[in-house]
């Protein structure tokens, strides 16, 4: 690639082949193992919705309302199969304009007006899957994903706010980022695309897709994310500081610091 002057372009050529199909397969198996959970998740709210009379979804006096509201958040801390999103007063369609207004008032200062944060510690949120945004906000609020900074902001949001903000962010266009370290980025590319076979580390591409766009709704978009943020999350998963994803904890627990820096740098330039 002698004509290639900028590391990120060389490293991220779309024609790069995935080097380790076997470890991709491992990732696919891991991903598939989460599916029954998802199905359960989808099925769980059904009985509650069916028993609620059709004309009471906006009535706070409905007996299903208060009880669902009190059991919802508690259930979230115990089990990912009972998301608070099933609250009967949750809106059926997200209001993007309301989401934009809410976001502009509180969140834009740190995450950027269009979700393309400029500060390496504050994650880019533009073009992220709305369901993933909602999950994180619920878990900041409940404490399942501890964050001294985000817990307070998330605590002020209703379920409707979360859904609206997620819908707004999902529509924003992510700006591409840059890989910085030419040496490390190659190690990062190997890990991202092929995993590390002999240590049973699955390819990131298997769940987050080869171009880092993620796979809605469960697997978040990673491409273009600040390397500092991605690295901090991988360390947090590994060290149990972010315990909201057993899958990621398992993967990150096998990565050393150098590998974390490398794959995070590669992700920053991925497009």
In the 8-state DSSP scheme, what is residue 202?
P
Nearest partner of 145 among 255, 210, 233, judged by Cα: 233
Residue 266 C-beta: closest distance to ligand HEC, Å? 9
Q: Half-sphere exposure of 97 toward its Cβ, with a 13 Å CA cutoff? A: 0
Nearer Cβ to ligand HEC (65/227)? 227
The footprint of ligand HEC on residues 25-54 (CB under 6 A) is 27, 30-31
Asked if residue 109 binds ligand HEC (CB under 6 A), the reply is yes
Asked if residue 84 binds ligand HEC (CB under 6 A), the reply is no
Number of residues lying near ligand HEC (CB under 6 A): 43
257: CB partners within 8 A, 6+ apart: 235
Whole-angstrom CA distances from 91 to 95, 157, 159, 160, 184 are 9, 14, 8, 6, 46
Q: What is the distance between the alpha carbons of residues 140 and 76, in angstroms, rounded to a whole number?
A: 11
Asked if residue 133 binds ligand HEC (CB under 6 A), the reply is yes
Nearer Cβ to ligand HEC (71/247)? 247
Of the candidate residues 233, 238, 262, 269, the single one contacting ligand HEC (CB under 6 A): 233
Asked if residue 110 binds ligand HEC (CB under 6 A), the reply is yes
Whole-angstrom CA distances from 239 to 41, 114, 145, 254 are 27, 31, 13, 11
Asked if residue 223 binds ligand HEC (CB under 6 A), the reply is no
Residues that bind ligand HEC (CB under 6 A): 27, 30-31, 106-107, 109-111, 121-123, 125, 133, 135-137, 147, 149-150, 153, 157, 165, 191, 201-202, 204, 206-208, 218-220, 222, 230, 232-234, 244-245, 247-248, 251, 263
């Amino acid at each position: 690639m002698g004509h290639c002057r900028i590391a990120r372009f060389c490293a991220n050529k779309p024609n790069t082949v995935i080097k380790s199909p076997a470890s991709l397969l491992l990732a696919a198996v891991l991903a598939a193992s989460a599916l029954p959970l998802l199905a359960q998740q989808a099925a769980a709210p059904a009985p509650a919705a069916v028993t609620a009379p059709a004309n009471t979804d906006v009535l706070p006096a409905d007996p299903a309302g208060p009880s669902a509201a009190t059991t919802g958040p508690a259930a979230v801390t115990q089990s990912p199969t009972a998301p608070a999103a099933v609250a009967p007063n949750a809106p059926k369609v997200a209001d993007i304009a309301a989401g934009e207004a809410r976001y502009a008032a509180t969140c834009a200062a740190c995450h950027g007006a269009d979700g393309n944060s400029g500060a390496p510690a504050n994650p880019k949120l533009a073009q992220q899957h709305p369901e993933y945004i909602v999950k994180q906000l619920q878990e900041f609020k409940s404490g399942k994903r501890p964050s001294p900074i985000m817990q307070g902001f998330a605590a002020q949001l209703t379920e409707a706010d979360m859904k609206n903000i997620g819908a707004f962010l999902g529509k924003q266009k992510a700006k591409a980022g840059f890989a910085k370290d030419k040496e490390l980025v190659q190690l990062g590319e190997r890990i991202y695309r092929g995993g590390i076979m002999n240590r049973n580390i699955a390819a990131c591409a298997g769940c987050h897709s080869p171009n880092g766009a993620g796979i809605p709704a469960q697997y978040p978009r990673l491409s273009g994310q600040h390397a500092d943020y991605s690295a901090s999350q991988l360390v947090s998963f590994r060290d149990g500081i972010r315990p909201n994803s057993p899958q990621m904890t398992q993967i990150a627990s096998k990565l050393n610091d150098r590998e974390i820096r490398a794959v995070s740098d590669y992700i920053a330039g991925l497009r």
